[in-house]
Structure 1
Amino acid sequence: MEQLPYRREAFYRRESKSVPAARAFTAWALDDWHAIERLDDVLLCVSELATNALLHGVPPGRGFRLHIAMCAHRVIRVEVHDSGDGTVAPSAPRAEEEHGRGLLLVAALADKWGVGERDPGKSVWCEFEAEPGPGPQC
């Protein structure tokens, strides 16, 4: 039997079918771990982070890596690693703009989120407490 913390990862190429594939992979992992309490929130954030990686962080010919983990205290952590540069911050788009609300959704739905440095690139992560409680960190 698999021991906590549970971990899964997958690599996706720079193509439009990568976002639904990342969502399906995440749904499979959370179902396998019997951790579907926050499934809709997690899947929406995976969609947003994967889309942002494809639009802003993945140069042609590269891809992004999706990491999903769940710790003993049932905190689900999602990380999207890309090779792009730059900083990431949610901003309030003007009402007439069609894009730019993804990280605002992540900030609203996740219990925590942030950005980490990588060489090359960055890692954007978010966490969801399925059942809050004490336990080791991921």
Structure 2
Amino acid sequence: MDQHPLRREAFYRRESKSVPAARAFTAWALDDWQAIERRDDVLLCVSELATNALLHGVPPGRGFRLHIAMCEHRVVRIEVHDSGEGTVAADAPGPEAEHGRGLYLVAALADKWGVGERDPGKIVWCEFGAETPGRQ
């Protein structure tokens, strides 16, 4: 598939091996673009967004689409498109909670994040600047 050099996308089925595959695909794109700034943060957020899509946003028999783009000023944008009706909440989980930290981590690590509409489903996205004041 011919893709714009600074944009990549891939489709993943509703299966557990899709999360590491999405992470590896993202690592390949970042390496191709020589985008090493905040690489670990980006990869962790891809894992969290992909996991949330599988657990809450992808109905049986469907999948999710991962979009990765290098935007102006070397901002990396990640989008996970799903076709489910699940809602998105990034409230801090309680200290005894066994789940619910995924979007809380995304909110803490990404410079920006949000949710957009899609018919059917939604798009959960996050962005990372190459250099963010106050981050090392």
By the TM > 0.5 criterion, same fold? yes
Comparing 89-98 and 18-27, the one that deviates more: 89-98
The answer for the alignment partner of 2:13 in structure 1 is 13
Aligned mates of 1:82, 1:18 — CA distance in 2: 13
Secondary structure (helix, strand or coil) at the match of 1:51 reads: helix
The answer for the alignment partner of 1:68 in structure 2 is 68
Q: Percent identity?
A: 87
Aligned mates of 1:91, 1:44 — CA distance in 2: 18
Return the offset for 1:131.
4.2
Which amino acid in 2 is paired with 1:36?
I
Superposition pairs of residues 87-98 of structure 1, within 5 angstroms: 87-98=87-98
The answer for the alignment partner of 2:50 in structure 1 is 50
Secondary structure (helix, strand or coil) at the match of 2:24 reads: helix
Secondary structure (helix, strand or coil) at the match of 1:103 reads: helix
| Structure 2, unaligned runs of 5 or more | none
Aligned mates of 1:10, 1:130 — CA distance in 2: 23
Paired residues of 1:63 and 1:82 also in contact (CA < 8 A): yes
| Structure 1, unaligned runs of 5 or more | 133-138
Q: How many aligned positions are there?
A: 129
The answer for the alignment partner of 1:135 in structure 2 is none
The answer for the alignment partner of 2:36 in structure 1 is 36
